[in-house]
Structure 1
Amino acid sequence: MPRILSIDYGQKRTGIAVTDELQLIASGLTTIPSATAIAFLKEYFAKENVEAVLIGEPKQMNGQPSESASVIKGFVTHFTNHFPDMKVIRMDERFTSKMAFQTMIASGLNKKQRQNKALIDEIAATILLQDYLTSKRF
């Protein structure tokens, strides 16, 4: 079974997570500079069988698009131009960064480790993907 990949796209960094081949568990893959996202994905798709890409959709508390929504929309357009046959799934990503930070605290990481924004982005992509997998089952 092909994998599903999750992208937590940001202006500077992009967190990436991926499912196992049975699409049961989401795991953090890496965090990359956002400027290299398309090149990284081309290389990854050449090595791994991926059926869909989940890209977070940032929203405010009232459900309206957040300030970063236009940046991410631009990335989605860029992505679909490079990978026109790849299925793109958009999902509300509210609270994923806060949940990632709380996960780091619960895991016992010290303050210096919790300041690693790249790790927060990777964990946020993992949370987004695991939420998607859970919603798919129910």
Structure 2
Amino acid sequence: MARILSIDYGEKRTGIAVTDELQIIASGLTTVNTKALISFLKEYTSKEKVELFLVGEPKQMDNTASESEKQIRPFILKLQNQFPNIPIVRVDERFTSKMAFQTMIDSGLKKQQRKNKALIDEISATLILQGYLYSK
């Protein structure tokens, strides 16, 4: 089997999480500068087999698209062009940032460590991936 890679796309930073090869465990991989995201994914997929990209879908409480969706759509087109053989699934990402922050508190991270936005993005990508795995 191959890995599933989850992307919590952001204007500046993007959190990335992956499964193990058996697609059982979701783990945070890293946070990358969004401008370098496609390059990072090319390098990663050249070393690891990825069968699916999950991309967070930000929605409002009334289920309409969030404002940040305008930045994600062009990224998804690039992703499709660069990786035509890897399907893309969108996953509702409502509340993942809040859940990521609560996870940091629950795990005992100090206040200074909880200010690390890159870590929040990585945890958010992991939560998106875990939610997908649970729903399978």
Q: Is the shorter-chain TM-score for this pair beyond 0.5, marking a shared fold? A: yes
Inter-partner Cα distance in structure 2 for 1:85 and 1:23: 19
Letter in 2 for 1:19: T
Q: How does 1:28-67 map onto structure 2 within 5 Å?
A: 28-67=28-67
Letter in 2 for 1:52: L
For structure 2, the 5+ residue unaligned runs are none
Structure 2 residue 69 is matched with structure 1 residue 69: yes
For structure 1, the 5+ residue unaligned runs are none
Inter-partner Cα distance in structure 1 for 2:31 and 2:69: 20
In the other structure, the counterpart of 1:4 is 4
| Count of matched residue pairs | 136
Alignment TM-score, normalising by the size of structure 1: 0.97
Shift of 1:85: 1.3
Q: How does 1:79-98 map onto structure 2 within 5 Å?
A: 79-98=79-98
Can you list the C-alpha shifts for 1:67-98, whole angstroms capped at 9, x where unaligned?
Answer: 10110111101111111111101010000011
Alignment TM-score, normalising by the size of structure 2: 0.99
Inter-partner Cα distance in structure 1 for 2:135 and 2:39: 30
4+ long deviations beyond 2 Å: none
Can you list the C-alpha shifts for 1:26-84, whole angstroms capped at 9, x where unaligned?
Answer: 00000000000000000000000110000000000010000101101111011111111
Secondary structure of 1:56's counterpart equals strand
Can you list the C-alpha shifts for 1:73-127, whole angstroms capped at 9, x where unaligned?
Answer: 1110111111111110101000001100000000000110000000000000000
Shift of 1:132: 0.1
Inter-partner Cα distance in structure 2 for 1:77 and 1:128: 20
Higher mean C-alpha deviation, range 70-79 or range 122-131: 70-79
In the other structure, the counterpart of 1:129 is 129
In the other structure, the counterpart of 1:107 is 107
Inter-partner Cα distance in structure 2 for 1:8 and 1:32: 10
Inter-partner Cα distance in structure 2 for 1:74 and 1:24: 30
